[in-house]
Amino acid sequence: MANISTITTAWQSVTITADEIWQVRDGTVDIDTDATNQLGLQLRPGDAVKISAGKTVYYRLSLGSSALIARVAV
């Protein structure tokens, strides 16, 4: 799994095939697993969240001009 570095203010998505931990290394992003609601959980540098396999994760840049999400297999 590759880190995510091209993040815009528009919602983007990726489907997770194995359990992962997403950690924000730079910038501030919103992530969500609900395609309908997309309210987003705001993550800042150092924040991390475990995501289960099979989930589609929606993400977007919420503050700043760039961001980096590190994806790590669990």
pLDDT digits 0-9 by tens, 7-52: 999 999 999 999 999 999 999 999 999 988 878 899 999 999 999 9
Residue found under tokens 């840049």 = 61
Q: Are 22 and 48 in contact (CB under 8 A)?
A: yes
Cβ atoms of 59 and 70 closer than 8 Å? no
66 versus 1: the higher-pLDDT residue is 66
If you ran DSSP here, which 8-state letter would residue 12 be given? E
Distance between CA 59 and CA 30 in Å, rounded?
5
Helix ranges (H only) for 1-74 are none
User: Using an 8 Å Cβ cutoff, are 17 and 56 in contact?
Assistant: no
Question: What local confidence, expressed as pLDDT, does residue 54 receive?
Answer: 97
Q: Is the pLDDT of residue 1 over 80?
A: no
Q: Which CATH class is domain 12-73?
A: mainly beta
